[in-house]
Amino acid sequence: MDFFLSNILVIVCLFPAAGIVLLLFVPRESVRLVANLVAFVGFLISIPLVTHFNDPAYIDPETRMRFVVKASWIDAIGAQFYFGIDGISLLLILLTTLLGFLSILSSWSAITERVREYYCYFLLLQAGMLGVFMALDFVLFYVFWEVMLVPMYFIIGVWGGPRKLYAAIKFFLYTLAGSVLLLLGILALYFFQYSQTGVWSFDVLQMRNLGVPLDLQWWIFIAFFVGFAIKVPMFPFHTWLPDAHVEAPTAGSVILAAILLKMGTYGFVRFSLPILPEATLQSIPWLLLLSAIGIIYGALVAMMQKDMKKLVAYSSVSHLGFCMLGVFVVTPVGLEGGLLQMINHGISTGALFLIVGIVYERRHTRMIADYGGLSHVMPVYATVFLIMTMSSIGLPALNGFIGEFLVLQGVFAHPLYRLWAVPAVIGIVLGAAYMLWLYQRVMLGKNDKEENQNLTDLNLRELVTFVPLIILAFWIGLYPRPFLEYLHEPVNEVVQIVRPGEFSPLPTQTARQ
Amino acid sequence: MQELGTVYDVSRLLGDAAAIAPQLYLIIWSLGILCVDPLVAAPHKRPWSLSFSLAGLGFALLHLLSVWDLEAPPAAFNDTIILDSFARFFDALFLVGALLTVLVSYRYLDIERAQHSEYYALILLATSGMMFMAGALDLITLFIGLELMSISTYILVGMLRHSRRSNEGALKYFLLGAFSSGVILYGMSLLYGVTGTTYLREIGDALANLPSSGLVVLAIVLMTAGLCFKVAAAPFHMWVPDAYEGAPTAVTAFMSVAVKAAAFSIFFRIYYQAFRDERDLYLLALALIAMLTMTWGNLAAVTQSNVKRLLAYSSISHAGYVLMGLVAGGQFGLQASAVYLLAYTFMNLGIWAILILLRRGDIDGEQMEDFNGLFLRRPGISVLMVIFLLSLAGIPPLGGFIAKYFVFAAVIRTALESTGGIATPLAWLAVVGALNAVVALYYYLRIVKSMFFETESVDVPLSFSTGITVTLVVTAVLTILIGVYPQPFITLAEVASAPLI
């Protein structure tokens, strides 16, 4: 058990990759089952991360990182195999393992061609994403960051919609363009660190205390910004997103929205903010502006969509703008709200893509105009859809409310940036408008289309994919404290680095004891 | 150093021969091929020449490995040639490149009906020419090696006698190659005129003490232009697409890997030894050439529908990346270029091997459509192809990423450490290099698209052979290994770069 727990990060990350090897050798009929089992076990073995998170045996006393694994890798350049997580990564990792499993489960009947290949890509994607959230060495991080582009490219390109080729290549090229600039920024940081300390190292945590001069900080900040902002995506780098989300198969869209986008926001919180604090502080007004434009623009464009999936895709642009608003105001509550909103967006938008996928699988159309009055024939589906709509627009008692509330509270906490709450609130109103309008047009009214008369309601497997998401939505909505408590410590740390002494830290568990 | 007019002491011959032992093996075995060829009956010619060439390359490689860790013997033949770690690194690269080329050629030449013993002899001779280049300490030796390599390659390009394209490519390559050799020679004669010596180090010493004059600048310009031609850097790359497309694919593989690496080896020797104090003079120009090479090669590749031609342009752009190391300068710059060439050799050879696999029946395997639906019939080969292509594009964790990482790191390090006006152009060089990786990915993905996303395909079996299988295994393993555990390869490159500093 101790061996398992001390290497748990490596095991959780590489388990899906090992599953690929297994998948290559099982007979054709059982590929589906094995893939689902691998993903499910992958989720189960990530649970000890939560139960032993505060076990002092697995906390690195110096960095406060949990379950640290460190091994030498490329000595010549000082790159290490260095895994470790804090509360932020913990939530994202669990989101990844859970949604990874759910999206694989949701593909059970949707994917009929090249099944084995499909699951291989998915498991590879899973390993890549988990590595991104675990790596504390810049080179290692970059490796995972890029690796996961490849399977996503294939998932969109092979099983995607009519414009899949265009969407797949656009996704890959856009992200790569950001990544290579990110690499240059990493290198500049690396050489600066060497000139200061005389040690070749890519240790992310050590780079926090470098005191990079402001002009160099700016260059590195721009390089990082482009890399992460494309991934988030922030306005005006968002144009790959609608294409990729719409053309990807349902499970691909779920992963894209729920987890891939979070890699960008995670990058900002893990790297840009603590390593380049002065440049961050100086650029806050611009970052807030871009976030606010994203919120309003995404919401307005979503309202105009005739395609359900496109609507949900643009709503992502809007919601991610919300996350970024909370993150970039860099107040304790705002940052925490932004991070929680990332998880919330993963749950509700992931679920919404699944919801769109359900009717698409039955009717092979995503046009809103082709539906209407579905609640008459699919009552269970209507309930799930309603819950997730409410979660997405932030109805109290559901998760979206907590996230949005915290973000607004955080923005308000800073006297200079108080007014940025205005576009955010407008965004919430618009969000309610397009989501409710969507629900009304698809689910309510008379079921007057011939083809929609005999639609079947959710089957058991489909219902099972939604249950965990619904539970989480209510859990975070009614009792968010356990989730927020994981975030207090890293959030305090980041805020203290960026704005030393400006805000009183959030009360952490250790402080209370 | 020798006084002018000193007579070579014949008693030192045997000791000196050790410095060129690998070359001697190749020359002896290649002459053996030519002698045996008329003596054996036609059906036995093929296995004979194959085994002779494998023996020659194998012995040379074995010899190289047996002296690998020994201290370098002193420079031989009046200090004109040396087997230092730099030469050993490149020699090994050439030999492995040539070995794999011979392995993929055998079946391919049958298909093309161009099975000639001379082919193998010429590969061996070209390789020995390259090894003379990598070890040369003196302009004349260097030039002789260059010509031995070039002339052998001209003939190899035209090996498909009945193919128009092959003839056209060979003629173009020959005319432009001879012209560029002339340009290099002219530059050399100017250098000799200014400095009074042909030894690279002595030229460097002399230039350090000379005020920079128009003549020196002209000499550097001419040498650079000639060398850029040989490594296929823009704007001297015009021969590449035609020669690469026309040549037998195995020869194209050889040219894009070994011939290019050889040209780079003298590039490094000349710039690190003879022009070591003229960095201010050439740095900006070289940075521009690197940017132009990457961008031009990539943009031209985007529109190609012939994969051979596409890869020709892609190899131009890779020359630009290797040049980045030279621009960065210093030990780490050279190390970066060496790592790049090492990774490039394997990933590129792998691609060409797959292209040779696709040359089957009546299908020339060069068109983008010939790749259509390959995954559905040959998933293993397609996955290998994807690995090689992504490696060329610089996606981790593959060799190409480590290569790109090192050249970017070298340029950024120089930019950060340098003072004055050079930092900005170097930073731009890094940015242009990075963005070029995106353009490159675009056209590599076009091939991936054909293999994985198109479903209609012709069902003609691929032309497998033991040689190709071995080549694919070796190149794939090394491409992945360099990416996942690069430590030993970095050390190799580091040791290789030491003698030139």
Cross-strand bridge partners of residue A203:
A137
Q: In whole angstroms, give the CA distance from residue A376 to residue A365.
A: 19
Binned at pLDDT 50, 70 and 90, residue A450 comes out as confident
pLDDT tens figures, B393-444: 999 889 999 999 999 999 999 988 887 777 888 989 999 999 999 999 999 9
Partner residue facing A183 (CB), from B408, B413, B416: B408
Judge whether residue A97 has pLDDT over 80. yes
Neighboring chain A residues of B412 at a CB cutoff of 8 Å: 184, 187-188, 191
Element counts in chain A: helices (H) and strands (E) = 23, 2
Of the listed ranges A134-148, B172-186, B367-381, the one predicted with least confidence? B367-381
Instruction: Write down the ipTM of this complex.
Output: 0.91
**Contact (CB<8Å) A188/B449:** no
Judge whether residue A212 has pLDDT over 50. yes
Residue B424 has what pLDDT? Answer: 85
Considering A51-60, B34-43, B355-364, B386-395, the range whose residues carry the highest mean pLDDT is B386-395
**Contact (CB<8Å) A165/B494:** no
**A170–chain B Cβ distance below 8 A for any pair:** no
> Which two tokens mark A494?
């980041």
Binned at pLDDT 50, 70 and 90, residue B93 comes out as very high
Judge whether residue A435 has pLDDT over 70. yes
Of the listed ranges A120-124, B13-17, B417-421, the one predicted with least confidence? B417-421
Which burial class, exposed, middle or buried, applies to A280 when counting CB atoms under 10 A from its CB (0-12, 13-18, 19+)? buried
Neighboring chain B residues of A73 at a CB cutoff of 8 Å: 485, 487
Average the pLDDT over A19-32 and give the result: 91
Binned at pLDDT 50, 70 and 90, residue A356 comes out as very high
pLDDT tens figures, B22-59: 999 999 999 999 998 888 888 888 888 899 999 999 99
**Contact (CB<8Å) B441/A176:** yes
Partner residue facing B416 (CB), from A139, A157, A188: A188
Residue A507 has what pLDDT? Answer: 80
**A463–chain B Cβ distance below 8 A for any pair:** no
Closest of A370, A368, A373, A387 to residue A463, by C-alpha = A387
With a pLDDT cut of 90, the percent of chain B lying above it is: 67
**A361–chain B Cβ distance below 8 A for any pair:** no
Binned at pLDDT 50, 70 and 90, residue B1 comes out as very low
Angle, CA of A470, A472 and A477, to the nearest 5°: 100
Q: In whole angstroms, give the CA distance from residue A151 to residue A154.
A: 5
Neighboring chain B residues of A177 at a CB cutoff of 8 Å: 435, 438
Element counts in chain B: helices (H) and strands (E) = 21, 0
pLDDT tens figures, B223-278: 999 999 999 998 889 899 999 999 999 999 999 999 999 999 999 999 999 998 88
Chain mean pLDDT for chain A? 91
Residue A511 has what pLDDT? Answer: 45
Neighboring chain B residues of A149 at a CB cutoff of 8 Å: 395
Closest-CA residue of A relative to B435 is A177
**A147–chain B Cβ distance below 8 A for any pair:** yes
Residue B71 has what pLDDT? Answer: 82
**Contact (CB<8Å) B453/A164:** yes
Contact in structure between A128 and A147 (CB atoms under 8 Å): yes
Contact in structure between B257 and B104 (CB atoms under 8 Å): no
Average the pLDDT over A83-102 and give the result: 93
Neighboring chain B residues of A196 at a CB cutoff of 8 Å: none
**Contact (CB<8Å) B491/A76:** yes
**A181–chain B Cβ distance below 8 A for any pair:** yes
Average the pLDDT over A133-146 and give the result: 94
Average the pLDDT over B351-361 and give the result: 89
Partner residue facing B396 (CB), from A143, A154, A172: A143
Judge whether residue B111 has pLDDT over 90. no
Q: In whole angstroms, give the CA distance from residue B331 to residue B499.
A: 10
**A195–chain B Cβ distance below 8 A for any pair:** yes
Reported pTM: 0.93
Neighbours of B76 (CB within 10 A): 20
Cα separation of the two ends of chain A = 28
**A202–chain B Cβ distance below 8 A for any pair:** no
Residue B5 has what pLDDT? Answer: 53
Residue A352 has what pLDDT? Answer: 94
**A214–chain B Cβ distance below 8 A for any pair:** no
Residue A513 has what pLDDT? Answer: 41
Q: In whole angstroms, give the CA distance from residue B30 to residue B49.
A: 9
Which burial class, exposed, middle or buried, applies to B376 when counting CB atoms under 10 A from its CB (0-12, 13-18, 19+)? middle
Q: How many Å lie between the alpha carbon of A211 and the closest alpha carbon of chain B?
A: 16
Binned at pLDDT 50, 70 and 90, residue A510 comes out as low
Q: Best residue in B398, B412, B432, B447 to probe A by mutation, most A CBs within 10 Å?
A: B412
Average the pLDDT over B4-31 and give the result: 83
Judge whether residue A8 has pLDDT over 50. yes
Q: In whole angstroms, give the CA distance from residue B120 to residue B35.
A: 13
pLDDT tens figures, A286-329: 999 999 999 999 999 999 999 999 999 999 999 999 999 999 99
Closest-CA residue of A relative to B443 is A169
Give exposure, B124-134, as e/b (b: 16+ Cβ within 10 Å): bbbbbbbbbbb
Residue B229 has what pLDDT? Answer: 93
Give exposure, B208-243, as e/b (b: 16+ Cβ within 10 Å): eeeeeeeebeebbbbbbbbbbbbbbbbebbebbbbb
Binned at pLDDT 50, 70 and 90, residue B300 comes out as very high
Judge whether residue A151 has pLDDT over 50. yes
Closest-CA residue of B relative to A158 is B453
Partner residue facing A169 (CB), from B405, B408, B445: B445
**A169–chain B Cβ distance below 8 A for any pair:** yes
Residue A408 has what pLDDT? Answer: 92
Neighboring chain A residues of B435 at a CB cutoff of 8 Å: 177, 180
**Which residues in B have their CB inside 8 Å of a CB on A?**
379, 390, 394-397, 401, 405, 408-409, 412-413, 416-417, 427, 430-431, 434-435, 437-438, 441-442, 445, 449, 452-453, 485-487, 490-491, 494
Closest-CA residue of B relative to A143 is B396
Average the pLDDT over A143-158 and give the result: 92
Residue B3 has what pLDDT? Answer: 53
Binned at pLDDT 50, 70 and 90, residue A512 comes out as very low
Judge whether residue A265 has pLDDT over 80. yes
Closest of A512, A133, A495, A127 to residue A329, by C-alpha = A495
**Contact (CB<8Å) A146/B434:** no
Residue B331 has what pLDDT? Answer: 92
With a pLDDT cut of 70, the percent of chain A lying above it is: 99
**Contact (CB<8Å) A181/B434:** yes
Average the pLDDT over A60-82 and give the result: 90
Chain mean pLDDT for chain B? 90
